[in-house]
């Protein structure tokens, strides 16, 4: 589905990374490993075409990503390292907004199950700003289920999570890949997840 | 197409919810506006005729200053929490996001000022028959201010250290708007021609806004 060929990004004449190659097909998980500041987030944003690469090309379904951008966006969910939930609103409001904006086909019982699994069912009427970092992160993961898209691009998804939540995320990754989905995520630590490709930055 | 329209509707639902939760910010702007009017009245003195003569100028200056107060939040929150990226991934180009946010600023920031103009006119002893001219000119000019605000705020995302620069840009570019808007009230016979000029400025700024703001948003996200 995604092929990244000889990708390089420079900023102010400083090379962030160079000659990155990776391919992501259905059912695969790719991990981007590297120290802080090695360019993992930049690479993810470049794949999303938020950042223009200095060199190299990205293909989506065999076509240049640039020319097939909105089809790519129709199939991708991106979760950044920071929370995108609206902190002034309640968890319920955030879920309502996401469900409507992303035309989610998830029904109420599926949503309730997801909330219970993520242990967020008691926080529905709480403002996101009052949640802990881990709880906010789990709320972000709910967007993966609400959007229900094939490709997940996740920046440091395992940071700020306790061991139970990490296990849950691993299980979610496996389920998604078994259903034909694919995942690219970054991590500066060893996540202990089975991955099909590792890119070292 | 229908799917896209529904997305836009729920974008405004999101903006409505956000503005409702931050209602105190809107209220603070309005209070700033009215307190400033009182300060002007106390500093000029109790002479009704003097207040009446300078009233329109005061009103416009304060409307401009009050509306620039909220400029900082135009894109900042969505930029910081990554919602600009999510909106873009949801199928909105950066230029289109700029149009949507400009309309949102007009609806949730400028309209409350528009509604408070009649009360401000009473305080400043502005004749009743002039209120309708003032509201019409502010209706158009406030939309111009929203467009200018969008451009300056998106530029400010690239220059996080000096927020005042953005406000300065808005104030410099709003000088012609103030000239024509105040002219409408003082030269009622030229109402049509002056309103056409204001409308022309609106069309120019509205055309430039998505292009300029969209580019600034893209560049600021690239350099985040």
* Higher per-residue confidence, A66 vs B162: A66
DSSP B110: I
ipTM: 0.89
* Higher per-residue confidence, B161 vs B18: B18
pLDDT at B181: 83
- Rounded to an integer, the average pLDDT of A163-172 is 85
Q: How many helices, marked H, and strands, marked E, lie in chain B? A: 11, 0
CATH code, domain carrying A186: 3.40.50.300
Taking an 8 Å cut-off on Cβ atoms, the answer to whether B91 and A74 are in contact is yes
**Residue B72 pLDDT more than 80?**
no
pLDDT at A112: 86
- What is the Cα–Cα distance from B11 to A84, expressed in whole angstroms? 15
Provide the residue range defining the domain that includes A196: 1-75+179-201
Domain-embedded: residue A140: no
Model confidence band, residue B180 (pLDDT cutoffs 50, 70, 90)? confident
Longest dimension (CA), chain B: 59
Model confidence band, residue A91 (pLDDT cutoffs 50, 70, 90)? very high
Domain-embedded: residue A193: yes
pLDDT at A160: 78
Domain-embedded: residue A127: no
- Rounded to an integer, the average pLDDT of A178-195 is 84
**Residue B186 pLDDT more than 80?**
no
Dump pLDDT digits (tens) for B146-161. 999 999 899 888 877 7
Taking an 8 Å cut-off on Cβ atoms, the answer to whether A70 and B80 are in contact is no
Count CA atoms within 13 Å of residue A44 on its CB side.
27
Find the CB nearest A50 among B11, B91, B221: B221
> What angle, rounded to 10 degrees, do the helices at B128-156 and B94-105 form?
150
Residue closest to B100 by CA, chosen among B75, B82, B80: B75
pLDDT at A187: 85
Number of domains within chain A: 1
- Rounded to an integer, the average pLDDT of B53-80 is 84
Domain-embedded: residue A120: no
**Residue B194 pLDDT more than 90?**
no
**Residue B143 pLDDT more than 90?**
yes
Domain boundaries defined on chain B: 2-222
Model confidence band, residue A105 (pLDDT cutoffs 50, 70, 90)? confident
- What is the Cα–Cα distance from A158 to A171, expressed in whole angstroms? 13
Model confidence band, residue A152 (pLDDT cutoffs 50, 70, 90)? very high
pLDDT at B200: 93
Tokens of A194: 């089975």
CA-based torsion, B78, B80, B84, B86: positive or negative:
negative
DSSP A4: E
Find the CB nearest B91 among A45, A51, A70: A70
List residues of chain B with CB under 8 Å from any CB of chain A: 3, 6-7, 10-11, 13-14, 17-18, 21-22, 80-83, 85-86, 88-91, 221-223
Contact in structure between B75 and B101 (CB atoms under 8 Å)? yes
Q: Is A89 on the interface with B (CB under 8 A)?
A: yes
Dump pLDDT digits (tens) for A33-90. 888 888 899 999 999 999 999 999 999 998 999 888 989 999 999 999 888 888 889 9
- What is the Cα–Cα distance from A34 to A139, expressed in whole angstroms? 26
Contact in structure between A3 and A58 (CB atoms under 8 Å)? yes
Model confidence band, residue B4 (pLDDT cutoffs 50, 70, 90)? confident
Find the CB nearest B81 among A73, A82, A102: A82
Dump pLDDT digits (tens) for B114-138. 899 999 888 888 888 888 888 888 8
pLDDT at A36: 83
A156: left (phi over 0), alpha (psi -120 to 50) or beta: left
Domain-embedded: residue A159: no
């Amino acid at each position: 589905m995604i092929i990244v060929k000889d990708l390089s990004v420079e900023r102010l004449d400083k090379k962030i990374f160079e000659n990155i190659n990776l391919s992501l097909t259905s059912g695969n998980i790719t991990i981007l490993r590297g120290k802080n500041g090695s360019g993992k987030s930049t690479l993810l944003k470049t794949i999303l075409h938020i950042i223009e690469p200095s060199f190299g090309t990205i293909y989506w379904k065999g076509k240049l990503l640039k020319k097939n951008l909105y089809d790519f966006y129709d199939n991708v969910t991106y979760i950044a390292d920071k929370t995108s939930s609206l902190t002034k609103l309640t968890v319920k409001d955030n879920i309502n907004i996401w469900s409507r904006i992303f035309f989610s086909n998830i029904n109420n019982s599926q949503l309730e199950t997801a909330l219970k699994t993520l242990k967020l069912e008691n926080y529905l009427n709480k403002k996101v700003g009052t949640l802990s970092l881990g709880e906010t992160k789990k709320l972000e993961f709910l967007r993966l289920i609400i959007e229900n898209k094939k490709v997940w691009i996740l920046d440091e998804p395992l940071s700020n999570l306790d061991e139970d939540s990490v296990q849950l995320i691993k299980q979610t990754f496996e389920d998604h890949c078994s259903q034909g989905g694919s995942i690219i995520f970054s991590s500066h630590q060893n996540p202990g997840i089975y991955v099909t490709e590792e890119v070292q930055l | 197409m229908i799917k896209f329209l529904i997305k836009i509707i729920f974008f405004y639902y999101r903006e409505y919810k956000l503005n409702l939760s931050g209602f105190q910010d809107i209220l603070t702007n309005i209070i700033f506006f009215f307190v400033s009017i009182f300060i002007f009245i106390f500093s000029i003195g109790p002479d009704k005729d003097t207040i009446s003569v300078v009233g329109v100028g005061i009103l416009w200056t304060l409307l401009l200053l009050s509306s620039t107060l909220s400029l900082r939040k135009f894109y900042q929150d969505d930029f910081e929490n990554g919602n600009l990226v999510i909106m873009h991934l949801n199928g909105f180009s950066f230029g289109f996001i700029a149009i949507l946010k400009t309309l949102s600023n007009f609806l949730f920031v400028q309209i409350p000022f528009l509604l408070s103009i009649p009360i401000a006119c009473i305080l400043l002893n502005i004749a009743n028959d002039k209120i309708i001219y003032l509201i019409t000119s502010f209706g158009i000019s406030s939309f111009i201010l929203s467009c200018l605000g969008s451009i300056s705020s998106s530029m400010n995302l690239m220059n996080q250290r000096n927020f005042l620069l953005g406000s300065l840009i808005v104030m410099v570019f709003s000088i012609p708007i103030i000239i024509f808007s105040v002219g409408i009230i003082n030269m009622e016979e030229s109402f049509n021609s002056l309103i056409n000029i204001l409308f022309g400025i609106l069309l120019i700024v509205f055309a430039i806004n998505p292009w300029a703001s969209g580019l600034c948003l893209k560049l600021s996200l690239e350099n985040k």
